[in-house]
Amino acid sequence: MQALSPLDGRYRAKIDALAPYFSEESLNKARLEIEVRYFIALSKEGGVRELPKITASQEKALLLLIKKFNDKDAAAIKTIEKTTNHDVKAVEYFLKKQISKIKGLSKSVEFIHFGLTSEDVNNLSYGILISRALKNVVIPTTSDYVANIKKLASANRSVALLSLTHGQPATPTTLGKEMMVFVDRLNRQLAQLKSFKMHGKLGGAVGNFSAHKAAYPKVNWENFGKKFIKSLGLDPLTNTTQINPHDDIAECSHIMFRMNTISIDLSRDIWSYISRGVFGQKVIKGEVGSSTMPHKVNPIDFENAEGNFGLSNALFSHFAEKLPISRLQRDLSDSTVQRSVGVAFGYSLLATRSIQKGLGKLSVKKNVIKAELDAHPEVLGEAIQTVLRKNGVKNAYEKMKELTRGEKVTKKDLHAFVSGLKIPKEDKKRLEKLCR
């Protein structure tokens, strides 16, 4: 009840799937994982003679430190951090203590965090966490959401619908096609998200492997770094300063921003369709739409989605603008900003859950749709004037403009107009059918 953020308060249950990737405990676990895997990789590098190659049983024990990482371990790291006032160093000290307990490794603990800077650990930790969150939560959830829109589109592919352009009645469309517009748009972004890969940097204080080379000048550290980064499922960066320049997070943020924006567009369109009566909403027993107006069934799911997608976009936009900028070889202004990456994904997931819930409540009001179309026969003007143009009728557009623009016309008026036309019988018959 004392949560400062609504994501960790009111909405926690709805975004809980992201906790294993973006909580502080998860970040420290990822840091520990990077340090452990780096230690194992170092032990297998023949040129690092003072670190004996670890045995199979030692490697198993090391990997268990990652697998069995728990709340108690996380609390122990936080206790150390109270003294160090440095989170990565706290992980290092915690890990040294744990590794010293593994048989045969007590003399090798100084190879934990060997030659590294904090950003080597942090950027790789964020890299694996964001990659896993995309694969296990964001992409599957968004794919399900798009599948539901497609299902709505397929069920209504032939339902004729009055269009509104500039808010005014326009040429009819179909409800199914209008929904498929969003399916196609979201799928384009999903394809980019699926092919997207986080980057990885390893190279010490200014990206030159200077400390590594001082200790072991004959080791090809550049190749070692590339191999290690690839083993984590990340794309290696060749030339960097102290930090990963965060172009990867910026790229991911831009994709997420576009997906969120498309979903805001969908939320607003469905809100408008509900307002027009095109969609109805299922009444959930016990729910209240208004504290004073008992009849209300408000489109709150789409309104909530719009608001939360907007919050998410505000953060993703800031990440894309801020994170790729760092003074010279390093400043720390990126560090505090990166800590909120999970918040942006959290609001996006929350919004997606809302829009999913709203889609599940929709019912198509075909009688309302038909009545709306019947009330605006003037929208057939585009089709009529185009057929007239086809047949060389002079001033076809102007004739329809005079008949329909700003006027309340009926199908009877249009039928009478078509009946007086001198055009081929087949075209005339088709237009007369439209005007019935």
- Of the residues 5, 100, 210, 290, only one is catalytic, namely 290
Q: Are strands 160-165 and 168-174 parallel, antiparallel or unpaired?
A: antiparallel
In the residue annotation, 113 being an active-site residue is answered as no
What are the respective helix, strand and coil percentages of the chain, to the nearest 5? 65, 5, 30
d(CA 53, CA 310): 51
In the residue annotation, 290 being an active-site residue is answered as yes
The answer to whether 118 and 15 are in contact (CB under 8 A) is no
CA dihedral sign, ordered 343, 349, 351, 353: negative
* Single-letter amino acid, residue 72: K
For the chain, report the end-to-end CA distance as a whole number of angstroms.
Answer: 62
Beta strands (DSSP E) in 237-337 are 279-281
- Mind spelling out the 3-state secondary structure of 9-64? CCCHHHHHHHHHHHCHHHHHHHHHHHHHHHHHHHHCCCCCCCCCCCCHHHHHHHHH
Which stretches within 68-209 are classed as H helix? 71-84, 87-99, 118-133, 139-155, 175-195
Nearest to 411 by CA among 432, 389, 385: 432
- Of the residues 158, 166, 295, 363, only one is catalytic, namely 166
Residue 212 φ/ψ, nearest 5 degrees: -60, -45
d(CA 90, CA 76): 9
The residues annotated with a catalytic role in the active site are 166, 290
